[in-house]
Copies of this chain bind each other. A is one copy, B any other.
Amino acid sequence: MTEKAESSGYKGEVLNALRKAGCEVGDIIRVTAGGKSYEGILIPRSESGDTAHIVVKLKSGYNIGIRIKPDVKIERIGKGAKPMFASPLLPEQKPELPKAIILSTGGTIASRVDYRSGAVRSALSASDLYGVVPELADVARVETEIVFSLYSENLTQQHWSQLAQKVAEHIAQGADGVIIAHGTDTMAYTAAALSFALQNLPVPVILVGAQRSSDRPSSDAATNLIAAVQAATKAPFAEVAIAMHETVSDTSIAITRGTKVRKCHTSRRDTFKPVNATPLARVNNGEVIMLTDEYQKRDATKKLILKPDFSEAVALVKFYPGLDPAVIDWHVEKGCKGILLEGTGLGHVSKYCFDAIRNAVNRGVVVALASQCIWGRVNMNVYDTGRDLLNLGVIPLDDMFPETALVKLMWVLGQTSDAAEAKKLLKINIAGEFSPRTMLDKFGVEGEEADGN
C-alpha cells in the first residue's frame, strides 16, 4: 500500500483490508459480500469519520459504499485506467455528435476530490469532467467554461445577469444545448431567473446539480450530468429546466421547467419537486421521454431574446403570527420598489399589516402575494381578508410559489420602473410560471433514503 491510499481517507480496519488485498485508489477491484459481487474502481473517501466502508465507482458511473466485514472478499483485478485527473488525456471528439456547452458556477457537482492530493477542488474543466464522467464523450462534443466557483448561496441578481449573457453568447456560437452546473441550494432561484431572462430560446438550457459530490457513495453527480447533457442536446423542447433525480432510485432523472421546481429536501437526491406541474421530461437509460405536449419547441432558427436585468430593490416578506408590519415600512423607506408577500392559505396576511401595505402601494411600491402553502393557487376572492388586500392594490400571483414569484418581481422591475406597467407584466405568463387551472396536482415522494450526512 502506497502513501497514495493512506492520504485518500481510508483508515483502521478498512485500510488494513485494502493493504492485505494489495489494492490502492484507482485500481479496478472486485468486492464479494453477502453472495454479491461488485466490480469497479476504488475511489477515495472524504468523510474522515467513517472507517467502515470502501467506495467503489461502478461501470454505470454510480458510486457505492460497501461495508467491510471479516467475510467480505477484496480482489485487485486490474490497474485503473480512469479516472485520470492527473493527465488530462481528452477522449477523441466525435464530429457527428451535437455540441454541448457546460458552464460551471460552483457547488457540489463541480467539486471533486483530487485523486492524488486528496484535496477538494471546486473547479470544473473539460478534462476533470471526462475524468469523472468519460461517458459524456459518447453523448456530445463537450466544451466547458468556468463562469464562477461559488457556493450557490452567494449568487445574487448580478450573477444571474452574467450567466444569462454567457448562455446567450454560447448559443450565438452554435451550441446545440447549454448545461449549467450549479449548487443546489439556490438552483431553483437561478433557474427561474434564467427562464425570464432568456426568451424565445432556440435550444434547451439545463441546470444540473448534485446532492452528493462525486467522491461520495451514492453520488448523483455523474447520472444527473449525463442526463442533463442528453436532455440539452436531444430533447425537443427549448426551455430552461432543472435535471435532477426523480426518485431515490438512480433509474430516472426528471427534467422540470425552471419556473415550476423547488428544492424540497435538505439531503435527498430527489430533492427537487415540481410545484403545480408535472416534469417536462424524464431521462431514462439515455432516452429523453417527454411527459407533456405543452412546451416551447427546439428550433435552431429561433432568435434568442435576452432580457438579463433584475432589480435589487425587491424584498420578500414572509407573513407569520406576530410579524411586525413595520418591517414593510422599513423596506419602503429603504427605497424598495417591489415587495413579495408570502401570505397564508388562499392569500392572506393579518389585518394589522393593512396600513403598511396601503402606505407601500401609495408610495408606488408593487406589492404582490404568493402563498406559503407552496402548492395550490391563491384565490383572494373567497374571504374578506383577500378581498381587502385586493382593494389595497395587492397583486395575486395565482399558482406561482413564493421563490419563483420573488424572482419574477425582481425581473419585472428590471424591465420597467413604472408600477402600472410592472403590475401588467407580472400577470403575463412569460415562461410557464402560471399553469392552467386544470393542471394535475402532484407533489412529493414516498419512501425512504438513508441520510448520508
Binding site for B on A (CB under 8 A): 151-157, 160, 183-186, 189-190, 263-268, 271, 273, 310, 312, 314-316, 318-324, 326-327, 330-331, 334, 342-352, 371, 373-379, 381-385, 403, 406, 410, 437, 440-449, 451, 453
Contacts and interface: CB of A to CB of B under 8 A. Distances in A.
17 contacts: A151-B384, A157-B321, A183-B345, A189-B321, A263-B344, A263-B345, A263-B373, A264-B374, A265-B441, A265-B443, A266-B347, A266-B373, A320-B403, A320-B406, A346-B453, A444-B445, A444-B446
Contacts of A377: 266-267, 451, 453
A441 B447 contact: yes
Contact of A266 (B331, B376, B444): B376
A346 B324 CA distance: 28
A156 B319 CA distance: 12
B448 A319 contact: no
A268 to B, nearest CB: 7
A49 to B, nearest CB: 10
A292 B410 CA distance: 45
B352 A154 contact: yes
Contacts of A406: 320
A266 B453 contact: no
Nearest to A314: B322
A333 to B, nearest CB: 10
Contacts of A321: 155-157, 160, 186, 189-190
A321 B409 CA distance: 13
Given A322-B312, A330-B330, A346 B153 contact: no
Nearest to A449: B441
Given A444-B443, A445-B444, A318 B316 contact: yes
B383 A151 contact: yes
B266 A349 contact: no
B154 A351 contact: yes
A368 B155 CA distance: 22
